[in-house]
Protein backbone atom coordinates (compact mmCIF):
# COMPACT_ATOMS: atom_id res chain seq x y z
CA UNK A 1 0.00 0.00 0.00
CA UNK A 2 1.22 3.50 -0.85
CA UNK A 3 0.80 6.34 1.59
CA UNK A 4 0.57 9.83 0.17
CA UNK A 5 0.67 12.69 2.66
CA UNK A 6 -2.71 14.36 2.83
CA UNK A 7 -2.04 18.09 2.56
CA UNK A 8 -5.15 19.15 4.41
CA UNK A 9 -7.21 16.98 6.72
CA UNK A 10 -10.57 18.35 7.73
CA UNK A 11 -11.68 17.01 11.08
CA UNK A 12 -15.26 15.97 11.75
CA UNK A 13 -16.56 17.91 14.77
CA UNK A 14 -17.98 15.86 17.64
CA UNK A 15 -21.44 17.43 17.13
CA UNK A 16 -21.43 16.11 13.53
CA UNK A 17 -20.36 12.65 14.69
CA UNK A 18 -23.19 12.62 17.24
CA UNK A 19 -25.74 13.76 14.64
CA UNK A 20 -24.63 11.11 12.15
CA UNK A 21 -24.74 8.38 14.80
CA UNK A 22 -28.28 9.46 15.66
CA UNK A 23 -29.32 9.18 11.99
CA UNK A 24 -27.43 5.99 11.10
CA UNK A 25 -27.04 4.23 14.44
CA UNK A 26 -23.71 3.45 16.12
CA UNK A 27 -23.18 0.34 13.99
CA UNK A 28 -23.29 2.36 10.73
CA UNK A 29 -21.10 5.24 11.85
CA UNK A 30 -17.49 4.12 12.24
CA UNK A 31 -14.65 6.21 13.63
CA UNK A 32 -12.31 3.64 15.17
CA UNK A 33 -8.82 3.33 13.68
CA UNK A 34 -9.31 -0.16 12.19
CA UNK A 35 -12.45 0.73 10.24
CA UNK A 36 -11.00 4.07 9.14
CA UNK A 37 -8.03 2.11 7.74
CA UNK A 38 -10.32 -0.38 5.95
CA UNK A 39 -12.05 2.49 4.11
CA UNK A 40 -8.86 4.46 3.40
CA UNK A 41 -7.89 2.91 0.05
CA UNK A 42 -9.21 1.61 -3.25
CA UNK A 43 -7.65 -0.51 -6.00
CA UNK A 44 -4.93 2.12 -6.50
CA UNK A 45 -3.55 0.98 -3.13
CA UNK A 46 -3.07 4.63 -2.16
CA UNK A 47 -4.06 5.21 1.45
CA UNK A 48 -5.85 8.34 2.69
CA UNK A 49 -7.63 8.12 6.04
CA UNK A 50 -11.18 9.38 6.52
CA UNK A 51 -12.17 10.83 9.89
CA UNK A 52 -15.42 8.87 9.88
CA UNK A 53 -17.21 6.23 7.77
CA UNK A 54 -20.98 6.58 7.34
CA UNK A 55 -22.95 3.61 6.02
CA UNK A 56 -26.50 4.69 5.12
CA UNK A 57 -29.18 2.14 4.30
CA UNK A 58 -31.53 4.34 2.27
CA UNK A 59 -31.77 7.52 0.22
CA UNK A 60 -33.23 9.55 3.09
CA UNK A 61 -30.23 8.77 5.29
CA UNK A 62 -27.84 9.71 2.47
CA UNK A 63 -29.59 13.06 2.09
CA UNK A 64 -29.40 13.78 5.83
CA UNK A 65 -25.71 12.83 6.03
CA UNK A 66 -24.79 15.00 3.05
CA UNK A 67 -26.89 17.93 4.34
CA UNK A 68 -25.24 17.88 7.78
CA UNK A 69 -21.76 17.61 6.28
CA UNK A 70 -22.52 20.43 3.81
CA UNK A 71 -23.78 22.71 6.59
CA UNK A 72 -20.63 22.03 8.65
CA UNK A 73 -18.15 22.25 5.71
CA UNK A 74 -17.11 18.63 6.17
CA UNK A 75 -15.97 16.95 2.93
CA UNK A 76 -17.90 13.87 1.81
CA UNK A 77 -16.37 11.11 -0.30
CA UNK A 78 -18.79 8.58 -1.86
CA UNK A 79 -17.62 4.97 -1.94
CA UNK A 80 -18.98 1.94 -3.73
CA UNK A 81 -16.91 -1.21 -3.50
CA UNK A 82 -13.59 0.66 -3.48
CA UNK A 83 -12.54 -1.26 -6.59
CA UNK A 84 -11.82 1.71 -8.85
CA UNK A 85 -8.42 2.64 -10.23
CA UNK A 86 -9.07 6.39 -10.39
CA UNK A 87 -8.87 7.33 -6.70
CA UNK A 88 -12.49 8.48 -6.64
CA UNK A 89 -13.15 6.67 -3.34
CA UNK A 90 -10.15 8.24 -1.57
CA UNK A 91 -10.97 10.81 1.12
CA UNK A 92 -8.32 13.28 -0.03
CA UNK A 93 -9.17 15.80 2.73
CA UNK A 94 -10.29 13.34 5.39
CA UNK A 95 -13.88 14.12 6.34
CA UNK A 96 -16.59 11.50 5.91
CA UNK A 97 -16.58 8.50 3.58
CA UNK A 98 -20.15 7.54 2.69
CA UNK A 99 -20.18 3.85 1.85
CA UNK A 100 -23.11 2.56 -0.21
CA UNK A 101 -22.51 -1.10 0.65
CA UNK A 102 -25.89 -1.49 2.37
CA UNK A 103 -27.83 0.17 -0.44
CA UNK A 104 -28.03 -2.93 -2.60
CA UNK A 105 -31.77 -3.03 -3.14
CA UNK A 106 -33.09 -3.76 -6.60
CA UNK A 107 -33.75 -0.79 -8.88
CA UNK A 108 -37.49 -0.50 -9.51
CA UNK A 109 -39.45 0.98 -12.40
CA UNK A 110 -42.90 1.63 -10.97
CA UNK A 111 -44.09 -1.78 -9.88
CA UNK A 112 -41.81 -3.74 -12.20
CA UNK A 113 -38.46 -4.84 -10.84
CA UNK A 114 -35.61 -4.29 -13.29
CA UNK A 115 -33.44 -7.38 -13.44
CA UNK A 116 -30.23 -7.72 -15.37
CA UNK A 117 -31.43 -10.77 -17.30
CA UNK A 118 -34.22 -8.55 -18.67
CA UNK A 119 -31.76 -6.48 -20.72
CA UNK A 120 -30.70 -7.53 -24.17
CA UNK A 121 -27.09 -8.64 -24.32
CA UNK A 122 -26.12 -5.87 -26.70
CA UNK A 123 -27.41 -2.94 -24.64
CA UNK A 124 -24.83 -0.16 -24.97
CA UNK A 125 -23.55 1.94 -22.12
CA UNK A 126 -25.14 5.01 -23.75
CA UNK A 127 -28.55 3.34 -24.04
CA UNK A 128 -28.31 2.07 -20.46
CA UNK A 129 -27.61 5.63 -19.24
CA UNK A 130 -30.62 6.89 -21.24
CA UNK A 131 -32.82 4.24 -19.61
CA UNK A 132 -31.62 5.20 -16.15
CA UNK A 133 -32.18 8.89 -16.90
CA UNK A 134 -35.82 8.18 -17.83
CA UNK A 135 -36.17 6.49 -14.43
CA UNK A 136 -34.60 9.54 -12.72
CA UNK A 137 -31.55 7.46 -11.81
CA UNK A 138 -27.89 7.58 -12.74
CA UNK A 139 -24.82 5.36 -12.61
CA UNK A 140 -21.73 6.27 -10.61
CA UNK A 141 -18.83 4.79 -12.52
CA UNK A 142 -15.93 5.72 -14.69
CA UNK A 143 -16.86 6.25 -18.32
CA UNK A 144 -15.97 3.18 -20.42
CA UNK A 145 -13.43 3.47 -23.20
CA UNK A 146 -16.28 4.13 -25.64
CA UNK A 147 -19.96 4.87 -25.28
CA UNK A 148 -20.67 1.88 -27.46
CA UNK A 149 -19.25 -0.50 -24.85
CA UNK A 150 -21.90 -3.05 -24.07
CA UNK A 151 -23.31 -3.40 -20.60
CA UNK A 152 -22.37 -7.06 -20.73
CA UNK A 153 -18.72 -6.06 -21.19
CA UNK A 154 -18.80 -3.92 -18.04
CA UNK A 155 -20.06 -6.67 -15.74
CA UNK A 156 -18.15 -9.47 -14.16
CA UNK A 157 -19.53 -12.81 -15.23
CA UNK A 158 -20.44 -15.07 -12.34
CA UNK A 159 -21.74 -17.97 -14.42
CA UNK A 160 -21.09 -19.26 -17.91
- pLDDT at 28 > cutoff 80: yes
> Percentage of residues in the chain with pLDDT exceeding 70?
70
Contact 149, 126 (CB under 8 A): no
Range from 20-34, 85-99, 131-145, 146-160 carrying the lowest mean pLDDT: 146-160
SS3 152: helix
Split at pLDDT 50, 70, 90, the class of 30 is very high
Q: Hey, how many other C-beta atoms are within 10 angstroms of the C-beta on 33?
A: 8
CA 34 to chain centre: 19
Between 87 and 22, residue with greater pLDDT:
22
In terms of CATH architecture, what is 8-99?
2-Layer Sandwich (3.30)
Q: 73 to each of 12, 144, 147, how far by Cα in Å?
A: 9, 32, 36
Question: Looking at residue 39, what is its pLDDT?
Answer: 94
Between 9 and 141, residue with greater pLDDT:
9
| Surface-to-core class of residue 93, CB atoms within 10 Å of its CB (0-12 exposed, 13-18 middle, 19+ buried) | middle
Give the global pTM.
0.67
Please report which residue ranges of the chain form alpha helices under DSSP H.
14-24, 33-38, 59-71, 125-134
- Residue span(s) of the chain under CATH 3.30.43.10 come to 8-99
Contact 109, 131 (CB under 8 A): no
Split at pLDDT 50, 70, 90, the class of 153 is very low
Amino acid sequence: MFEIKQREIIKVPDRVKRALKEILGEQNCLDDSMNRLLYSYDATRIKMLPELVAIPENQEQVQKVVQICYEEDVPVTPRGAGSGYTGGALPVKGGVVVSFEKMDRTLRDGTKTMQLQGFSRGLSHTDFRKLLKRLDCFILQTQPATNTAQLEEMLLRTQE
